[in-house]
Structure formats: C-alpha cells, structure tokens
Amino acid sequence: MSACEGSIRSAVVSASRGTQAARLMELLGLSEDELCTVLDTDPLTLLSGQLDDRGQLPILLDLVEEAAAQSGDGVLRRWLRATGPAGRPVDALLRRDFAAFEDALGELGERGFILRGGG
C-alpha cells in the first residue's frame, strides 16, 4: 500500500469515527462537553475525527441505535435525563460507567419509558 493510499484510508476511518460520535451525540441529545467526557477525549481530537482506537464508541452507538429503533429518538433523549431506579442514565455515561448505562438501556427495552406522576 502506498503512503497516499494509507492517508486516504486513515482519513476515511477518521471521518467514520467522527460521524459515529456525531450520531451518538444526536441520538442522546448530548452537548459537546458531555460527548467529550463520555468518550474521554478533548474537543480538538473529537472535531478532527482522530479518536483513538477505543471500542466504546461503536459499542455505545450500537446499543443506543437499537434502543432508539425500539423507543424513538425523542423518547431516548428524554429518558437519558430522567431519574430512574438506578439514577439518571446520563450520569452513568458521564461517569463512564458503561455497564450501568447498558443495564439502564436493558431496563428501558424491557419496561419502556415510564414517567411517574408528581402528585
């Protein structure tokens, strides 16, 4: 493979990761700061599309896209910031506690998004 082919391939991979990050941000309604915290990266790295080879981005995106397909994007964004039995799912993400976030997504899949009355 020539140096040019390697550069093009690298740019395509980087662009793909940038698109994945943007899609995760869109589906969950995350701010740029929240996205950087979740992915443990800085804004320049995120904007340049040069994320390290960390597996959490495609895994998170797969989990979130599956949940969005079942519940709808708007519901997923509201659910992320709602307090559930284990707290707010966004807090688990910001702590980078991906296991807790995955458990919360599993519960969303099983029970659906339930709003409790405040009265």
118-30-63 Cα angle (round to 5):
90
Q: Is residue 66 part of a domain?
A: yes
- For residue 107, give both structure tokens: 């519960």
**pLDDT tens-digit profile of 29-75?**
999 999 999 999 888 887 776 665 567 889 999 999 999 998 877 88
Q: Is it the case that residue 107 has pLDDT exceeding 60?
A: yes
What residue has token string 């509201």? Answer: 78
Mean pLDDT confidence for 8-13 = 42
pLDDT band at 97 (very low <50, low <70, confident <90, very high): very high
Q: Is residue 34 part of a domain?
A: yes
Q: Is it the case that residue 6 has pLDDT exceeding 50?
A: no
Q: Is residue 31 part of a domain?
A: yes
Q: What is the pTM of this model?
A: 0.76
Q: Is residue 20 part of a domain?
A: yes
How many independent structural domains does the chain possess?
1
Q: Give the domain extent around 49.
A: 3-111
End-to-end CA distance of the chain: 66
Q: Is residue 86 part of a domain?
A: yes
CB atoms within 10 A of CB 18: 16
Q: Is residue 97 part of a domain?
A: yes
57, 46 in Cβ contact below 8 A? no
